[in-house]
Amino acid sequence: MAWLWRAGAKFSLVASAVGGGVTTALIATSDDPETALKLCATVPHRLFRDAVTAANIAFDYEYSLWGLPEGSIERERIKHEVHLRSAQKLQDLCFKNGGVYIKLGQHLGQLEYVQTMRESMLNKCPVSSYEQVCNVFKKELGDTPDKIFSEFDPVPIASASLAQVHVARMHDGQKVAVKVQHTHMTDTAAADHATVELVVNTLHRFFPSFDYRWLIDEISESLPKELDFLTEAKNSERCLGNFHKLSPHIANYVYAPKVYWNLSTSKLLTMEFMDGAYVNDVKTIQKLGINLHELSTLVSQTFAEMMFKHGFVHCDPHAANLLVRPLPSSKASIWGRRKPQLILLDHGLYKELDFQTRTNYASLWKGLVFADANAIKEYSAKLGAGEDLYALFAGVLTMRPWNRVVDPSMDHLVIQGNESERLELQMYASQYFHQISELLRRLPRVILLMLKTNDCLRAVNNSLLQGSSLETFFIIGKVSSEAVIEAKMLKSKSLLTWLNVKLDKILLEVRLWGMQVALWLLQLRKALSWSNQPF
């Protein structure tokens, strides 16, 4: 064990040396010495804190698993306990350091095997003072918020890792939401990123199985875009435009807040204020007269259309970024039911899928829904998983073991969401930890973001239905199959292709009809079992 302590001490010395060198260079070359001095007082402290946490986690893993046989039940049990302790330590580190660290924690928290971090990282974020908010307004719009708006609430209604949101009212009486970037993000983002990268690379050097370099690459690519609120505004308008152009059948059921461009900059975003319930607020949604299964289906269809047809995907659909309200143009049914409208918030993190990637991803999901083992293997390899990890890739996407993935029954991918399934998933995550790390290292960043999106949507559906539903996979199978057929038509206009596509459409309709019948029977069985229950 002594080598572990030597590694930790060595890392701490490196951290101190790097921190000291950065401090001297930054103050000497900065145009803003006051900000530079503040930054240089903060960064070495964070770097030292990183080193201590990393050494602590590394020692915990090595000491706790020492002498336990590989693959034994006891080793897996202890490893799971260490995972939970490590997640808690990482969560504490992210909260103490703030900035990019919060974003890093949120990315980790979306992975299915880091449940401990999920709710805390999404719901507990730093808040900028009103004075800091005023400073952002002065720099961006030349005046304080109370002068620009007729009303401005100094207390934010929400705060995230990069920004916080205030309610305001324009001089014409329009109620708006104003997103204000945290000032420290601009000051420390680059330095924080460098220190996180140093920590991850150093840990990988001493512990090759700990390989989260892919996560650093992902944040490197996405963070500059997320810090530019004008890019977010453009994404919002492009997203809605895609639905009206490419998915007009559900365009009215998907909405994004209107942007007020004259009051928006790269660090300030003024939008239409939206009233609605968070998508995981089941009680409020039911009070609005919205059916939970219908809402779950709308969420699945919205993102299936983005992934398989638009190729422009909102990659941060956690519950805080999805609101629901009754469709404004709809009237309540005689039972008081209303059609749902999904409101998409926070359009900072989008990813474009090129034609080939989009088609391969749609083909893979088509194979998953219809239990086609050959298609799963072929398209997993094309997407970067390789021919040796295709079964694991299918498992990560569906959260189902391989024998269930290729089970021909209609509900083979449905997750019940009970305790036994949760424990089974945790066991698989611990057992295949090294293979999962290798898979994540191999996959291109665009697919990693699709995995993150997939995990977010699974969490949303789980909160609505306490599991997944056959309707969800019916929608995914339908939209992905339609996308594959459309791609075939675009590739070739020959008569043979046209006949082949016509045959594919007929077979698809038969398959979907079979799934629909199975769905009706399942719903009938549930209704009968419910009616037979004693009161």
Cα–Cα–Cα angle for 474, 463, 406, nearest 5°?
35
| pTM of the entire predicted model | 0.78
Calpha distance 393→382 (Å, rounded): 12
Residue 107 neighbours by CB distance under 10 Å: 24
Integer CA distances (angstroms), 164 to 133, 178, 328, in order: 9, 8, 28
What tokens were used for 522?
Answer: 């399942």
DSSP one-letter string for 379-396? HHHHTTSTTTSHHHHHHH
Burial class (CB in 10 A: 0-12, 13-18, 19+), 333: exposed
Name 322's bridge partners.
344
Domain assignments of the chain as residue spans, ordered by start: 1-125+189-216, 127-181+228-273, 355-526
Calpha distance 168→154 (Å, rounded): 9
Calpha distance 371→411 (Å, rounded): 10
What tokens were used for 454?
Answer: 């997939």
Calpha distance 316→65 (Å, rounded): 35
Residue 172 designated active-site: no
Does the domain formed by 127-181+228-273 have CATH 3.90.930?
Answer: no
The 8-class DSSP code of residue 259 comes to B
pLDDT tens by residue, 323-365: 999 999 888 888 888 999 999 999 999 999 999 999 999 999 9
CB proximity list for 136: less than 8 A, separation 6 or greater:
128, 180, 181, 183, 267, 268
Residue 243's nearest CA partner among 339, 337, 342 is 342
Residue type, 489: M
The per-residue pLDDT of the chain, averaged, comes to 80
Going by pLDDT thresholds of 50, 70 and 90, the confidence category of residue 195 is confident
Catalytic residue among 50, 187, 192, 316: 316
Calpha distance 304→478 (Å, rounded): 9
pLDDT tens by residue, 380-417: 999 999 989 999 999 989 888 888 899 887 777 776 65
Stated as kind and residue range, the H or E segment containing 177 is: strand 175-181
pLDDT tens by residue, 18-47: 455 545 544 444 444 555 555 555 667 777
